[in-house]
Chain A
């Protein structure tokens, strides 16, 4: 933390706690209590649409069932591969976009173009799902029309597994690449121009400049962006809910979509709570480990 030296030492005083109290109280009421409730419920079987049947304590059964449910296991696999694919493609594309925007060719127009490329970041994920639904519509959409011009006919987006997964991945890239681009661009703009000038004088190629100056200098932003994006991609829900409803079959159903189904279509409270709780722990662990790596690398 940058503030270590400037901090007010206050071991006996109440002040820091007083300043944090309002936020803590709100989070306690709206977040901590429901989580506690969810944790307790995860050890029970309870159909909340039939309140007359009382909850039945089943111990760890809801958790153990996770490993027996083949559909859910498939979805866990898909959630992780989705995350791996989108985060790595967003990183490459975001880096390319940042390099494009960092180019001296743009001059004063840089802020303008940066604004244009930021637009997807401000759009609701549900609406972006709707946009991609229209653009990739198999019968009336422009993508299939353009593909038919080069001889690829009637790709069945949304009814075949691979094309649907591709659209879901593309939509996530559309939504999140601007964020990656923005953070990497901000990192690049802190690199002193003199470094590049010195490199050029020594006769380094553009690739060498990128490889030996740009890339090492933005290592920290790259890692921050990976941590944040992995965290978000694992929880993907809104866009997929709108775009494919998890289909065809369960091929694009993420863990969070299952969770929604357990809770609001099967009314299986205990099961929904167990799945979301287990998954939350996994996300926390992944984040903790990657932040640990981050701190060690930058120390």
Chain B
């Protein structure tokens, strides 16, 4: 019995260790690569623990590559699209979850369909449209697209939060003479703050990491974001691994720190709606 217990917990910890290795190794390798000097990158066997560490790759990307520009672009796009997207989604989610009306199911399905839409189906038409109104290759264009594309998911997420507010609260507010607008702003919004935080986090993450639209709608440093910067560096394989690692690290660490810090909300948001039957 004791031997069996010991075996079980050994297996458990081996599985846990393997899972950690699987999750962390690619990230570790990217960060380690970013600190390797030129010749260390091409060692055989590969260098698992780079020493001495060098900052040459970071110097290179900050001095010779417009990396600060990419960073700023990513940050502007993420920060600007998030509040608009969350606000509009909250309004719509309130409408969906608290009213019965004609066309509700159809609208719900249409919103869901946007979530299933391949980005590329509208990237080309958008590219043409943006070109004719001067929004091509601009941060504003990206902000508009991210605002719209993050909305359906946010509506779906926030709807779950609205639905959980007990009907008694709503009824008494309405009996007290609240308008629907007051009900929304003064009663509902404070109650669903965790939902708002969760959807804001998603917007930030998705906008920061988005690739397809940024790839098709922007084409100069003026408005390109970090994922595009990395994809653009692949031409000259090998020699660029070090600096690509540095760009990857710069693009990943801030969002990672942020996301881990707000993990609780993230988990709440991702699992909302998927657990209850």
Contact = CB atoms under 8 A, between A and B. Distances in A.
B101 A11 contact: yes
Given A22-B91, A123-B252, A134 B205 contact: no
A156 interface: no
A279 B15 contact: no
B3 interface: no
Interface in A171-227: 174, 178-179, 182-183, 186-187, 190, 219-221, 224-225
Contact of A34 (B20, B100, B122): B122
Contact of B26 (A48, A126, A128): A128
A18 B170 CA distance: 19
A130 interface: yes
Main secondary structure of the interface of A (DSSP, over half): helix
B114 to A, nearest CB: 6
A287 B112 CA distance: 10
Contacts of A135: 25-26, 29
A6 B170 contact: yes
A220 B88 CA distance: 30
B120 to A, nearest CB: 5
A231 interface: yes
Nearest to A259: B120
A221 B271 CA distance: 9
B95 interface: yes
B57 to A, nearest CB: 13
Interface in A115-130: 115-120, 122-128, 130
Nearest to A9: B100
Interface in B108-157: 111-126, 128-129, 144-145, 147-149, 151-152, 155
B20 A126 contact: no
Interface residues of B, number: 106
B41 interface: yes
A152 interface: no
Contact of A48 (B128, B216, B241, B271): B128
Contact of B274 (A13, A96, A186): A186
Nearest to A131: B26
Contacts of B29: 131, 134-135, 142
15 contacts: A19-B91, A20-B95, A20-B107, A31-B122, A35-B117, A48-B128, A124-B251, A125-B209, A128-B26, A130-B244, A132-B26, A183-B270, A186-B274, A190-B275, A259-B118
Complex A-B, nearest 9 residue pairs according to Cβ-Cβ distance, in ascending order? A6-B167, A19-B95, A124-B209, A16-B99, A34-B125, A30-B148, A186-B271, A276-B121, A23-B92
